[in-house]
Amino acid sequence: MAGSILIIDDDPVQRRLVEAVVTRFGHRALTAENGRIGLDRLLAARTGEIEAVVLDLAMPEMTGIEMLEAMGRAGIPTPVIVQTAQGTIDTAVSAMRLGAFDFVVKPVAPDRLKAALEAALKFGALAGRAKARRAARGAEARIGLDDLGASPAMARTAALARKAAATDMPILIEGETGVGKEIVARAIRAAGSRAGKPFVTVNCGAIPENLVESILFGHEKGAFTGATEKHLGKFLEADGGTLFLDEVGELPSEAQVKLLRAIQEGEVDPVGARHTIRVDVRLISATNRDLAKRMADGLFREDLYYRLNVLAIPVPPLRERVSEIRPLAELFLDQARSAAPISVSGLSDDAAKLLAAYDWPGNIRQLQNVIFRAAVLAEGERLEAHDFRQIGAEIGTLRPREPLAAAPIAAEPLHEIQNIENTHEMTLALLDSRGEMRSLAELERQTIQAAIDHYDGRLSEVARRLGIGRSTLYRKLKEMGIDADEGRLGRLAS
């Protein structure tokens, strides 16, 4: 039996249709009726238990875009295939920028979904093997301060990292998601007095709130329901070495109090233990949030902020480190080749120019995913510009940072992108009669009414084409005061 596929869609009909296709092709299907439930399932799943996700983009409670953002913060690497309705190319592009592996247009043909799933599973397996190989070879021990990047934008980061490595003071590494904050932390550790000692990482954004204290500080057997064994906790695992708290800004307030005490006193209090335990750790934290603002908003403790932020090290985004893009792409291609039988031997100049022209909102992590995806799907001996169809299509619709010149966009863009771009027959005016931007509510209302007109009042078709569940459509119609029959006749003001 192949791995489990998680299907997330608020429309029960769509869930059943996709579930039938998934099971027909030999996979075990799991379902969730909205993004929040789907995210909880991913967080609770064991490594490898869920091998891919088919995700609807338009859902109540948590949209597909919001879920992709949450998966990124939590460091969940599971490949995601998003489902989008005809005419929502911008949303599909946003999903790809957030790390989605592929997208399909509703209603998706079974063969198209099968091909997307097979490629996503191959991609997931490749990424997993590459990660395992790096861990087995002790890749973190080879990361040095000279490996942080040769671009001018990284010069200040490297200089601060050298100062940090000479001390044991707490460090706060700041930067967007995927810029390589953990790489900087490992380089500091490798150049410091604790090199060779434990380096323990904790993704604070991926810990369920009720387990934060246990995971960080440990627990005794029987301390709570489900505590069948004694657990040391991350502080004790890192004793003598370095503890890296990634996305520390996501910690709940109660955990912040306990973390502050552990830093101040140098001891932890495991759940259910009768006494405290002394620990000796070098603390490095990282965040993609503005912790100063969260502190001002009362979401992060002021005393903890100043304890963690003794030395701040900013890591610039990849778009400011253009000279590093090709070397990184070639490094990731080497990793892909070492982890799987891939025939691709290199990167063409045209492909490199295309990648350099992109702004990489997901930074180094997104670049790695894009290279792995292209390596999985490529048919030639080198990666060419047309192997990066999503990147090419997006640069074709957005202003690139620099001209593409000799880097032509894919001659044959994705079938879905062609369909979407070639079927625009309606336009929405973004400005009102005074030249001011119209509100999202107005635009949404006009879009829904236009869809009702276009599909002759067939609400099931309207919901399907807009990529929302029928219940969501009915709720919106009620909130907007739109009657379907009146909308079809076009008698309501937009």
Confidence of residue 391 (pLDDT cuts 50, 70, 90): confident
The CATH architecture one would assign to domain 321-413 is Orthogonal Bundle (1.10)
> Would the CATH topology of 152-317 be identical to that of 440-489?
no
What are the extents of the domains in the chain? 4-136, 152-317, 321-413, 440-489
* pTM for the predicted model, two decimal places: 0.67
- 188, pLDDT greater than 90: yes
Q: Which residue has the higher pLDDT, 362 or 1?
A: 362
The CATH architecture one would assign to domain 152-317 is 3-Layer(aba) Sandwich (3.40)
Determine the pLDDT at residue 133: 64
Alpha-carbon span 478 to 472, nearest angstrom: 10
Alpha-carbon span 326 to 310, nearest angstrom: 34
User: Does the domain at residues 440-489 carry the CATH identifier 3.40.30?
Assistant: no
Determine the pLDDT at residue 483: 65
Q: Which residue has the higher pLDDT, 237 or 417?
A: 237
- 93, pLDDT greater than 80: no
Q: Which residue has the higher pLDDT, 408 or 185?
A: 185
Determine the pLDDT at residue 476: 83
Residue in this structure with the two tokens 């601060």, named with its chain if needed: 160
Residue type, 476: K
Q: Which residue has the higher pLDDT, 406 or 98?
A: 98
pLDDT tens per residue across span 240-278: 999 999 999 999 888 899 899 999 999 988 888 888 899
Phi, psi at 422, each rounded to 5°: -90, 0
What SS3 class is residue 377?
Answer: helix
The CATH architecture one would assign to domain 4-136 is 3-Layer(aba) Sandwich (3.40)
DSSP state of 271: B
Confidence of residue 37 (pLDDT cuts 50, 70, 90): very high
Q: Which residue has the higher pLDDT, 302 or 376?
A: 302
Nearest 5°: the CA angle 147, 149, 155 is 110
Determine the pLDDT at residue 7: 95
Residue in this structure with the two tokens 């949303």, named with its chain if needed: 91
Confidence of residue 54 (pLDDT cuts 50, 70, 90): very high
pLDDT tens per residue across span 124-159: 888 777 666 655 555 444 567 776 777 888 989 999
Determine the pLDDT at residue 198: 93
